């Protein structure tokens, strides 16, 4: 098993009142198991469309997505998601505990297994003791931690995150980035994340996929050859980090030519 997710020639167009709008054009990419991959690109390039296709919520108009060798036609098994809009993806009428329980309903687990799974997941994200709170009683950063805990509680093989830290303040963002690195170290889940923050993409990832063009194609897959563990201060001061972020930034802005044909 060399790849977890294989995206083969995925194309997507929408029929709009102004005619057909092509969004993705022959996007192909394979994700190595256990890798952390960030998808970046200019605003409106189709990052979220690609992510929706990977979650099985949208069917591509061309090509296919295989997860562990099986073409998907709906949300694949073992998938968990963290979305940007935590105020809407967490159910406001459920307590933190019940929000985390919700996806566990269909797993054959006893009550005590569920309870300890919830407690473990909350401990992983540093939110012990918030079981009985409602999400809206917590800060934005804490709500996003709950969303991450909910994802982890399902013991996913594949984690997909859509701009997970776009709606929190800068300091919280750094904290959550480091939380994601810790989760990655602890669980080694294959993770795909869309972000518009290039520093964040380089800081967290093994590979950064740059989408570019209308319709979008993979402009380059940039390998982040910076070792782990990473830290906000040292990694961000690493000359290699600066090189990579400058390169990715130029690709996103259309200023640089890709290093190799992707």
Partner 1 sequence: MVAASVHLLDAIMIMSWWRRILLVLIGAWVPTAIVFAWWTASADSTNPYFPPLSLIVERFTELWFSQEFVTTVVPSLRNFAIGYALACIIGIIFGTLIGGSRTGIKYAEPIIDFVRSIPAVATVPIFIVIFGLDIAMRVASITVAASMPILIATIQGVRSADVVQVETARVFHLSRQQQLWRVRLPGAMPLIFSGLQLGLQIAFIVTIASEFLGSGFGIGSFTLVATESFLILDAWTGVILMGLLGYLINIVFDLVERFSLRWYYGQKKIV
Instruction: State yes or no: residue 73 binds partner 1 (CB under 8 A).
Output: no
Nearest one of 50, 54, 52 to 65, comparing CA atoms: 54
Stretch of 8-16, 65-73, 82-90, 200-208 lying at the interface with partner 1 (CB under 8 A): 82-90
Q: Does 114 bind partner 1 (CB under 8 A)?
A: no
- Would you call 245 exposed, middle or buried from its count of C-beta atoms within 10 A (0-12, 13-18, 19+)? buried
- 3-state class (DSSP) for residue 77: coil
Contacts 24+ apart (CB under 8 A), 43-47: 43/196, 45/211, 45/212, 45/213, 45/214, 45/216, 46/12, 46/211, 46/215, 46/216, 47/194, 47/196, 47/211
Q: Per the structure block, which two tokens stand in for 202? A: 């380089």
Specify the residue, 83 or 252, whose C-beta has the smaller distance to partner 1.
Answer: 83
Q: Which residue, 16 or 106, is less far from partner 1 as judged by CB? A: 106
The sheet carrying 19-31 orders its strands as 19-31, 5-16, 62-67, 70-71
At its nearest, how many Å lie between partner 1 and the CB of residue 256?
Answer: 35
Residue 252 lies near partner 1 (rule: CB under 8 A): no
Interface with partner 1 includes 93 (CB under 8 A)? yes
The gap from C-alpha 60 to its chain's centroid, in whole angstroms, comes to 19
Q: Which residues within the stretch 180-209 sit at the binding site for partner 1 (CB under 8 A)?
A: none
What is the 8-class DSSP label of residue 231? -
Among 2, 18, 43, 106, binds partner 1 (CB under 8 A): 106
Report if residue 112 touches partner 1, rule: CB under 8 A. no
Strand positions, DSSP E, the chain = 5-16, 19-31, 36-40, 62-67, 70-71, 79-82, 158-162, 190-194, 207-212, 217-223
Decide: is 136 part of the binding site for partner 1 (CB under 8 A): yes
Number of residues that bind partner 1 (CB under 8 A): 27
Taking the complex as a whole, the smallest distance from the CB of residue 49 to partner 1 amounts, in Å, to 14
97, two tokens = 């505990």
Q: Which of 14, 21, 70, 77 binds partner 1 (CB under 8 A)?
A: 77
Should residue 65 be labelled a site residue for partner 1 when binding is judged by CB under 8 A? no
What count of other Cβ atoms lies within 10 Å of the Cβ of residue 240?
Answer: 13
Single out the segment in contact with partner 1 by CB under 8 A; choices: 35-43, 134-142, 182-190, 247-255: 134-142
Please select the residue that binds partner 1; options are 15, 17, 105, 255, rule is CB under 8 A: 105
Contact residues: partner 1, CB under 8 A: 55-57, 75, 77, 79-81, 83, 85, 87-89, 91-94, 102-103, 105-106, 134, 136-137, 150, 154, 160
């Amino acid at each position: 098993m060399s790849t977890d997710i294989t995206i083969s020639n995925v194309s997507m167009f929408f029929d709009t009142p102004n005619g057909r709008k092509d969004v993705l054009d022959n996007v192909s990419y394979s994700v190595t198991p256990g890798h952390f991959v960030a998808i970046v690109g200019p605003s409106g390039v189709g990052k979220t469309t690609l992510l929706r296709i990977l979650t099985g919520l949208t069917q591509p108009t061309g090509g296919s997505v295989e997860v562990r060798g099986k073409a998907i036609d709906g949300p694949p098994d073992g998938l968990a998601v963290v979305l940007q809009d935590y105020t809407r993806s967490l159910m406001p009428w459920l307590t933190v505990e019940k929000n985390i329980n919700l996806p566990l309903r269909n797993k054959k687990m006893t009550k005590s297994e569920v309870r300890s799974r919830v407690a473990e997941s909350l401990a992983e994200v540093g939110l012990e003791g918030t079981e009985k709170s409602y999400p809206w009683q917590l800060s934005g950063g804490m709500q996003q931690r709950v969303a991450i805990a909910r994802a982890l509680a399902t013991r996913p093989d594949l984690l997909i995150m859509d701009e997970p830290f776009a709606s929190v303040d800068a300091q919280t963002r750094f904290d959550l980035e480091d939380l994601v690195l810790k989760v990655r170290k602890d669980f080694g889940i294959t993770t795909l994340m869309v972000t518009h923050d290039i520093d964040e993409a380089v800081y967290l990832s093994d590979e950064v996929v740059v989408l570019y063009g209308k319709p979008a194609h993979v402009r380059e897959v940039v390998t982040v050859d910076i070792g782990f563990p990473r830290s906000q201060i040292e990694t961000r001061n690493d000359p290699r980090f600066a090189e990579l972020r400058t390169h990715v930034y130029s690709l996103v802005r259309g200023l640089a030519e890709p290093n190799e044909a992707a």
